[in-house]
Structure 1
Amino acid sequence: MNIKELDQLLNNLSIEALKEELKAYEIDTRSGVIKLIDKYKRKIQTYENELALWQLKCEFDSIFHDNQYILVGIDEVGRGPLAGPVVAAAVILPYDTNLVGLKDSKKLTEPKREKLYDQIQSNALGIGIGIVDADRIDEINILQATFEAMRHALSELKIDYDRVLVDGDKVIPKIQIRQEAIIGGDDKSASIAAASVIAKVTRDRMMKAYANTYDKYDWENNKGYGSQKHYEAIRNYGITPLHRKSFLKNEGIF
């Protein structure tokens, strides 16, 4: 087997199968094979590191569900942009879900987020999405709009739940179910990390779609945040119905 063929073989193996297959080539002295073995040993180590981090997230959640309560993780994305909605997601995961590599959505590449989004959709027991648009943000302010999006996300869940983990330092007003505010929750909790990815991918897709209509503002890249190109477009072309006037007033633009 030549080096290219071996690389293709190893690349298609599961981690456990890869561990066994590498043993058969450790006596091969070809420099290309030695490099491949090193490459795939690093892949195995990366996976095992990610698995350990995932298990820690699951253990964190188990403190709150204790294998008997239905736990919801909730997170939002879009508090800071100049345009577009704030989006919240609520996610219920099975106790034994395996989503290795899942973490705070901001720390994932876009392809990895998209892949995990599909995995979460396939594995979650329940997913709810809450969206609050720019006009409503201007009307009630971004904090209250965030809480409104979170309440709507929870209302979209199709099964009952017992506990809610909220990313951040505040619980959600007007919710009677027991809640815990978790600072840095998207790096600590499996369910909050899942909600982070669902919210992020949902909003990013919305902003890319909006960019087709409002093509001067570079939303496909900045997702509505205050990048240099975004500010320049506002100055050159004015604002759109998707801009948050209260945010632009704070920036001295509106």
Structure 2
Amino acid sequence: MEEYMSSIAEIKKVFASTDLSDYDRLFEEYAGDDREGVKKILESAHRKKKAYDDEKIRMYKMFEYERKYSDNEFICGIDEVGRGPLAGPVVAAAVILPKECDILYLNDSKQISAQKRELLYDEIMEKAVAVGVGMANQDVIDDINILNADYEAMKQAISKLSVRPQLLLNDAVNIPGVDIPQVGIIKGDTLSASIAAASIIAKVTRDRLMVEYDSIYPGYGFARNMGYGTAEHIKALETIGPCAIHRRSFITKFV
């Protein structure tokens, strides 16, 4: 019976502790091991490596616009979240990613789990050249309408960047009153890495804020619904009435 240098448990630990980018070396090393347990480890590892390679291809495509306009040193992606909720602010983020960006899994924040968004938030904040966040609260929304409040939050986010961008990549909109060239990209948070990064920063920032509001204004389920008009939220509006962060112009048919 052939003897092996490493046990199956040890091989499993080797794969678990090795970066996916280095799996090809391990595939070669263990290719001749015909133990069923090792074969299963290799099959699983090949699937993970394929998913990793596919993600790298997807992310290369996500930088298409950044490459197209690469003559600009600082390209800023901008996105917002919170247009639809009945309560809380609209939040915008502006993100400038480095030219050689190695962040994977960037996408429209709605297509990413809350746990993954938190991890990506930390990675973006660590690796980005600059990040700015802007908000427009319920009073501003009621006063100037949600679209103009969106623009105000975006302009505020741009103003908070530590470096001035030469180009803005926006999710579908053109921001008025900004003297920086802009490119509006329909569904930009699924097509541009910079916009996707901004979407994630804005979403995590707003969700964290709504969780805080849930403890200040209990009964509406803000930590679960983030201010959106769920059945629980609407019932609370009808029974408790609105609180300080409700958008009065959004809730007229409920109170």
Structure-1-length-normalised TM-score: 0.94
How many angstroms apart in 2 are the aligned matches of 1:45 and 1:75?
31
Query: 1:138 and 1:4, CA in 2 relative to 1: closer, same or farther beyond 3 A?
Result: farther
Cross-structure match for 2:157 = 153
Moved over 6 A (4+): none
Contact 2:234 2:254 in 1 (8 A): no
Q: Deviations over 1:69-105 (max 9, x none)?
A: 3211100000001111100000111111111111111
1:101: which partner in 2? 105
Paired residue for 2:43?
38
Out of 110, 114, 123, the position equivalent to 2:114 is: 110
**AA paired with 2:196?**
A
Paired residues of 1:65 and 1:163 also in contact (CA < 8 A): no
Alignment of 1:78-157 (within 5 A): 78-157=82-161
Q: Name which one, 1 or 2, has greater alpha-carbon Rg.
A: 2
Could you list the per-position Cα deviations for residues 25-57 of structure 1 after superposition, in whole angstroms to 9, with x for gaps in the alignment? 233333332222111111111111111111112
Report deviation, 1:200. 0.6
**CA distances 1:152-171 after superposition (whole Å, capped 9, x unpaired):** 00011121221111102x20
State yes or no: 1:172 paired with 2:175: yes
Q: Check if 1:237 corresponds to 2:248.
A: no
CA RMSD in angstroms comes to 1.4
Q: With the length of structure 2 as denominator, give the TM-score of the two structures.
A: 0.93
- Secondary structure of the residue that 1:174 maps to in structure 2? coil
Q: Is the 8 A contact 1:82 1:247 kept in 2?
A: yes
Rounded Cα–Cα distance in structure 2 between residues aligned with 1:242 and 1:99: 35
TM-superposed deviation, 1:2: 4.1
What percentage of aligned pairs have identical amino acids? 42
> Aligned equivalents of 2:251 and 2:87: distance in 1?
9
Aligned residue for 2:251, secondary structure, equals: helix
* Counterpart residue identity of residue 67, structure 2: S
- Give, in angstroms, the shift of residue 23 of structure 1: 2.5
Give the partner amino acid of 1:94. P
What residue is the counterpart of 1:56 in the other structure?
61
Counterpart amino acid of 2:215? N
What does residue 31 of structure 2 align with? 26
Equivalent residue for 1:205? Answer: 208
Aligned position for 1:7: 12
- Distance of aligned partners of 1:109 and 1:96 in 2 relative to their CA distance in 1, 3 Å threshold: same
